[in-house]
Amino acid sequence: MPDTQHITPKQKILQDTFGRKITYLRLSVTDRCDLRCTYCMAENMSFLPKSEVLSLEEMLSLSRIFMERGVRRIRLSGGEPLVRKNIIWLFEHLGAEISAGNLDELTLTTNGTQLRQMAKPLYDAGVRRINISLDTLDPVLFKKITRRDQLSVVLDGIEAALSAGLAVKINTVAVKGINDAEIASLLQWTQNKGLDLTLIETMPLGTVSDAREDTYMPLSVVKDQLDQQFTLTPSAYRTGGPARYFTVNGGTNKLGLITPLTNNFCDGCNRMRVTCTGRIYMCLGQDNHVDLRTALRSDTPTESLNACIDKALGEKPKRHDFAMIDGKMQGKISRPMSQTGG
């Protein structure tokens, strides 16, 4: 339940026109990355000029405005959040908001390459749970997918995170003809390590070298394949997020499926997304946005930001438009996932 005691009547809790309460903020802290996953980025990405990106102090101020409006969970994402210089400073300041009772949880989504050195500082800052993206355990395939030879670094990062006391969930994007034959071994590996695994369908975000239609792997097909090897039992577990969960072989670890194309999940959407340039996107799959940066840099930042957030709230769409119809992927968006933060 949001703690609304300190919210003035003007700074109402965030509720959209469909009655959905927004308690979760995803903040992209950079669009840059040290990997180049083929479904996410082109090899020669042009990144945003640094002058357009919010400072860490500005990101903290923005986060505090959202907390005042009832946001209780913040996830930092990117690009790769851990390649942003001094990012631990932001984690420490947001972590202090947990100790102060203003936030319930601070998490991140990472590709894992920096965790060897950053897992402990993250834990010390107040992070307890992280999502790590890993699409294969085969070094050759890892290099093919990410265009970088970094599998052993990521696996070491996962071990460092576990040793630091962080709960780890693995995220895997299913890519047809690339890692679909690998998913059963990934599930077995996460089972052996006592980790949860969430599978994600590719979404048509940004321009990449392979046609989206060629690499789209419906998770309904993956699930049928997994059913041959594992006993997957639907679970009532929900996070307020888009995943549907299953228990695996009667154990405690979960398999999550995020199926934006085969199954729309927007009814319970509880989140807003802010890019590293301070644009608020009400939905991953829509282009409408409101610019918070100008408000943040104005003479009356609190008032202006609250007005912008209210405007954004009024424009939150009912659902995204991703779909596969007659073999064509619908709802394509030119903005890559790395800009909005996955």
114 contributes a contact to ligand SF4 by CB under 6 A: no
* Choice between 64 and 279, CB closer to ligand SAM: 279
Q: How far is CA 166 from CA 169, 218, 300, in A?
A: 10, 31, 39
Closest-CA residue to 337 (of 202, 224, 244): 202
Cα maximum dimension of the chain:
61
Are 222 and 180 in contact, with CB atoms under 8 Å apart? Answer: yes
Q: Could you tell which of ligand SF4, ligand SAM, none binds residue 205, using a CB distance below 5 to 8 A set by kind?
A: ligand SAM
Measured CA to CA, the distance from residue 13 to residue 27 in angstroms comes to 19
- Classify 245 as helix, strand or coil: strand
In angstroms, give the least distance from the CB of 138 to ligand SAM.
17
The residue within the footprint of ligand SAM, chosen from 78, 95, 157, 256 (CB under 6 A), is 78
90 contributes a contact to ligand SF4 by CB under 6 A: no
* Choice between 23 and 133, CB closer to ligand SF4: 133
77 contributes a contact to ligand SAM by CB under 6 A: yes
The residue within the footprint of ligand SAM, chosen from 25, 27, 40, 125 (CB under 6 A), is 40
* Locus of tokens 């202006």: 304
Q: How far is CA 280 from CA 105, 152, 182, 269, in A?
A: 20, 36, 36, 15
324: how many CB neighbours lie within 10 A of its CB?
A: 17
Q: Which stretch binds ligand SF4 (CB under 6 A): 31-39, 115-123, 156-164, 179-187?
A: 31-39
Q: Could you tell which of ligand SAM, ligand SF4, none binds residue 200, using a CB distance below 5 to 8 A set by kind?
A: ligand SAM
The DSSP secondary structure of 174-239, one letter per residue, reads EBTTTTGGGHHHHHHHHHHHT-EEEEEE---BS--SS-HHHHB--HHHHHHHHHTTS-EEE-----
111 contributes a contact to ligand SF4 by CB under 6 A: yes
Q: Please give the angle made by the CA atoms of 297, 28 and 308, to the nearest 5 degrees.
A: 40
In angstroms, give the least distance from the CB of 168 to ligand SAM.
12
Q: Could you tell which of ligand SAM, ligand SF4, none binds residue 171, using a CB distance below 5 to 8 A set by kind?
A: ligand SAM
The residue within the footprint of ligand SF4, chosen from 80, 97, 182, 196 (CB under 6 A), is 80
Closest-CA residue to 251 (of 280, 281, 266, 231): 231
The residue within the footprint of ligand SF4, chosen from 40, 98, 199, 222 (CB under 6 A), is 40
**Residues interacting with ligand SF4, by CB under 6 A?**
33, 35-37, 40-41, 78-80, 111, 133, 338
**Residues interacting with ligand SAM, by CB under 6 A?**
33, 39-40, 77-78, 80, 109-111, 133, 171, 173, 200, 202-203, 205, 337-338, 342
